[in-house]
Structure 1
Amino acid sequence: MLNMDFSQTLLLPYDSDRWQASPAAGVWRYPLEREQAESGHVTSLVRFEPGAQFPAHNHPLGEEFWVLEGTFSDENGDYAAGSYVRHPPQSRHSSFSRDGCVIFVKLNQFAAEDTGTLVMTERDGQWVIGEHGYRRLPLHRHEGEVTSVLDFPDGGRFPPCCYRRGLELLVLAGELKEGQRGLAALSWLRFPPGAEPALTAAPGTRLWVRTGHLAPARD
């Protein structure tokens, strides 16, 4: 198990030495949280070298990913950088990348009744202007769980309304500060329900954000 105590605050700066080979040649993993080696709850970065393939596999409780670089592909299509994809529970696919890619992926974390398939791109989405000088791209919402991309063109404070039921962040670009500590692109942060971190984004910072998913029970 890795980082599976959701009552803990985690701030993991990106470290290029943490990439690990997967069972498939040319596919590399960067684990962030993991229940078991090849199954269960997993959050990670995954890198495909050009031409690499990962064999067909099941998603008992769903798979979602955000394409960070390049183009990720499967039997259903090609997903360029800035794509957000959700494959529902019990789905199955094989995956590959012709020219190489990096994705942020979460496995086996869907609510049982959250069964929809979703494919959207940053260009397709509708940005919403926030009260604190940022803009937000809604990606997915189910019950109290909300997934978005936040963009801070001029920098600013992360909205404090998002802490109450847990918060998870991946720095997509720029720098996020927690107090005096700076976290650059591909850093990952997780805060338990009730935490009140002091988060400030530098100009040009972009974040993948999930809120409301770490409380012990859903209202």
Structure 2
Amino acid sequence: MLINADFSRPAIVAADQYHWVASPQSGVERVMLDRVGAEQARATSIVRYAPDSWFPRHPHSGGEEILVLSGTFSEDDAHYPAGWYLRNPPGSNHQPSSKEGATIFVKLQQMQPQERHAVRIDTRAESSWHNENGRHICSLFSDDVEQTSLQRLELDEALFTAPVSGAELLVLSGNVLADGESYQRGSWMRLPAGQYPGIVAGSHGTTVYLKIARLGKTPIEA
């Protein structure tokens, strides 16, 4: 299965374009934002757990990255309400579930093989944030391939101040303006290398998940 699989081209899924697809497990459905592969895929998704839903224990050979958007997401005996960021390295395994229901942003099989450490960050805690050149940033992960963070932008503030090697963003609050269009909370964008001065925060500012990374060396034809 190929969805938004040509990484040399921009890909956008607005919040009002979500198409929910059932997963193999009852009570769990997802919006496929990009995907290369079948059920065991390199994938980026919004995943929704109904109350009392779960997945059997399973491994992630290429790692898994999770941002809890709403509700409470659980792994084994640990419980993570909205705002928690989880990063499970390649070779890890877990049994995910949700008692009350949850919506999460998930990236699968996109980590470097040498990653070894799990990451757990409560992005609701002000201590997780710092000021960097006048912008509030919550750093989530950084290595020689990617820099991942949450960022708060003020009214009309440009998201990018320099060219990027590739970028991906999810609007977490407020809205983002790009090419004359307004993208509300839940909208997702993936951008190839380039300059994007026209992407700015909307009328009430915004908070975004932002990953700066090289996206892919060879385009994949969908």
TM-score by length of 1: 0.91
- Pairing 1:216–2:217 present: yes
Residue 125 of structure 1 deviates from its aligned partner by 4.8
Could you report, residue by residue, the CA deviation over 1:33-78 in whole angstroms, capped at 9, with x for unpaired residues? 1112211211000000111111122201100100000110011511
C-alpha separation in 1, matches of 2:37 and 2:64: 16
Match of residue 15 from structure 1: 16
Q: Which amino acid aligns with 1:74?
A: E
Match of residue 27 from structure 1: 28
Residue 197 of structure 1 deviates from its aligned partner by 4.9
Match of residue 94 from structure 1: 95
Which blocks of at least 5 consecutive residues in structure 1 are unaligned?
none
Instruction: Give the number of aligned pairs.
Output: 215
Match of residue 70 from structure 1: 71
Q: Judging changes above 3 Å, is the alpha-carbon distance between structure 1 residues 17 and 129 closer, same or farther for their aligned structure 2 residues? A: closer
Instruction: Give 3-state SS (helix, strand or coil) of 2:70's partner.
Output: strand
- Pairing 1:126–2:128 present: yes
Do the aligned partners of 2:152 and 2:206 also contact (CA within 8 Å) in 1? Answer: yes
Q: Which amino acid aligns with 1:207?
A: V
Which blocks of at least 5 consecutive residues in structure 2 are unaligned?
none
Higher strand proportion, which one?
2
C-alpha separation in 1, matches of 2:42 and 2:19: 19
Could you report, residue by residue, the CA deviation over 1:102-121 in whole angstroms, capped at 9, with x for unpaired residues? 00000000011122111111
Could you report, residue by residue, the CA deviation over 1:185-216 in whole angstroms, capped at 9, with x for unpaired residues? 11110110124351111224110000023263
Could you report, residue by residue, the CA deviation over 1:78-135 in whole angstroms, capped at 9, with x for unpaired residues? 111110001110111111101011000000000111221111111175322243x531
Match of residue 192 from structure 1: 192
C-alpha separation in 2, matches of 1:90 and 1:104: 20
Do the aligned partners of 1:134 and 1:156 also contact (CA within 8 Å) in 2? Answer: no
Q: Which runs of 4 or more aligned residues in structure 1 lie more than 6 Å from their structure 2 counterparts after TM superposition?
A: none
Instruction: Give 3-state SS (helix, strand or coil) of 1:174's partner.
Output: strand
- Pairing 1:146–2:156 present: no
Q: Which amino acid aligns with 1:185?
A: R
Q: Which amino acid aligns with 1:128?
A: H
Instruction: Give 3-state SS (helix, strand or coil) of 1:38's partner.
Output: coil
Do the aligned partners of 1:178 and 1:197 also contact (CA within 8 Å) in 2? Answer: no
Do the aligned partners of 1:114 and 1:142 also contact (CA within 8 Å) in 2? Answer: no
C-alpha separation in 2, matches of 1:166 and 1:88: 22
